[in-house]
Structure formats: C-alpha cells, structure tokens
C-alpha cells in the first residue's frame, strides 16, 4: 500500500482532533443546558475520568495497531491522542480540585494521603505532566530518542494506575473497570509478547 501523502495525514489529523473534542463539546452542552443529572458532581467526575481512561487506552493501542497492520503513519497521530488524554485528565483533576474539594488544601492533602484510590489517581496525573511537557519534537530532540522513549514508557504504569484508580473507586460492581482492565491487559500483553518474540533474534545478532 502506498503511504499516505503529507496532505492526507494533515486532513486525518484535523478529523481526529475534531472527533477527540466531541466528548468535551458534549460536556459543555451538558453544563450549559443543565443536563448533568441529579448529581452533577458525580456526573462530571465520572465523565472526565471515563474519557481520560479511554484516550489513554486509545493512545496505547496505536503501537500494536501499527505493528499489526503495518500502517506506520499511525504514529503521526499518537501524540495528539496522548495530549487529549492529558486534556481530559486536567478537566478531571480540576473538577475534583474545585467542585469536589473547593480548593480546600487540608481536605486535598488528606484525600491524597489517606485514600489509596486518590493517591493512585493523583500520582498518575502528576506522572502525565512530564510526558505532556516532553511531547514536542523539540523535546524529543533535546532528550534524545533513547531517553525520550524510556521516559515515555511511564505511560504503561500510568495506564495500570488509571485502571486501578477506577477499580478502587467502585463500591462493588466491578464490571466497568474490568472492561478497561481487560483492554489494557491485551494492549500491554501484546507488547510483552512482541518483545519476547524479538529477544532470541537480538541474542544471536552481532553486538
């Protein structure tokens, strides 16, 4: 198959960008039309949290999809997807900080220290910041490919942490977190499998 032209990739990027903004547009509409339901805080937290996890998983799906299909150009939209995960986690964090906690520092510190699900969620948010900051071409160059890749492997831990954060939040019905956990396990499991398959090849290759 012919690789798509630079123009085709630009067009694709615009489409992905627009699609990735749909949840945000829905959220804005829900807020403006007072459609957040009986418990707006819960709706807001859940909505932004759900979309963070979804974008994290979509981002993590790029590499396996690229390797399986051979569509190398998929890599060109990965950064945008990752940044959308960061965008939604910022909304999620803000909704917790402001609407849930009303910037009450005591409460926030207590929550982060005492509640494992918040500890995990907060840690994941903090870990995502350096990934977002170093996502530009300039930063990739400055860090060097090897170090950049090593740093960005943090996203595996963040993915796991995100699912754990959701799992520990639910009272007893684990079906939804289980779906996310399964998808994540497949995406990370694929990497492990692909890595192990490459190992023997590497072992015999000249140093």
Shortest CB 63 distance to another protein, Å: 30
Q: What 3 state SS string does 12-77 have?
A: HHHHHHHHHHHHHHHHHHHHHCCCCCCCHHHHHHHHHHHHHHHHHHHHHHHHHHHHHHCCHHHHHH
Which of residues 40, 134, 143, 188 is near another protein by CB under 8 A? 40
Burial code (b: 16+ CB inside 10 Å, e: under 16) for 173-183 equals eeeebeebbeb
Q: Residue 67 has which token pair?
A: 């390797």
Site pattern 128..167 for another protein (x: CB under 8 A): ----------------------------------------
124 binds another protein (CB under 8 A): no
| Integer Cα distance of 114 and 106 in angstroms | 12
Closest CA to 188 of 162, 156, 165, 161: 156
Question: Which part of the chain contacts another protein (CB under 8 A), choosing from 56-64, 106-114, 141-149, 186-194?
Answer: 106-114
Which of residues 34, 204, 205, 207 is near another protein by CB under 8 A? 34
39 binds another protein (CB under 8 A): yes
Q: How many Cβ atoms from other residues are within 10 Å of residue 48's Cβ?
A: 23
11 binds another protein (CB under 8 A): no
Question: Which part of the chain contacts another protein (CB under 8 A), choosing from 9-17, 79-87, 97-105, 193-201?
Answer: 97-105
Which residues of the chain form contacts with another protein (CB under 8 A)? 31, 34, 36-42, 44, 98-99, 102, 107, 110-111, 114-117, 168-169, 171-175, 178
């Amino acid at each position: 198959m012919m690789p798509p032209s630079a123009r085709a990739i630009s067009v694709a990027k615009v489409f992905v960008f627009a699609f990735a903004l749909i949840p945000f547009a829905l959220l804005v509409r829900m807020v403006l039309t007072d459609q957040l339901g009986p418990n707006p805080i819960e709706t807001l937290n859940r909505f932004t949290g759900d979309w963070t996890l979804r974008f994290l998983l979509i981002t993590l799906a790029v590499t396996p999809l690229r390797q399986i299909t051979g569509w190398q150009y998929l890599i060109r939209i990965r950064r945008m997807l990752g940044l959308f995960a960061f965008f939604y986690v910022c909304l999620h964090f803000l909704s917790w900080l402001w609407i849930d906690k009303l910037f009450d520092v005591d409460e926030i510190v207590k929550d982060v220290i005492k509640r494992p699900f918040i500890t995990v969620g907060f840690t994941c948010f903090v870990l995502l910041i350096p990934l977002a900051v170093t996502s530009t071409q300039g930063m990739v160059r400055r860090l060097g490919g090897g170090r950049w890749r090593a740093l960005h492997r943090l996203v595996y831990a963040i993915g796991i942490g995100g699912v754990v954060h959701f799992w520990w939040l639910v009272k007893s019905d684990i079906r939804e977190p289980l779906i996310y956990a399964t998808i994540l396990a497949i995406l990370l499991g694929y990497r492990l499998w692909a890595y192990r398959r490459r190992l023997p090849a590497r072992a015999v290759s000249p140093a």
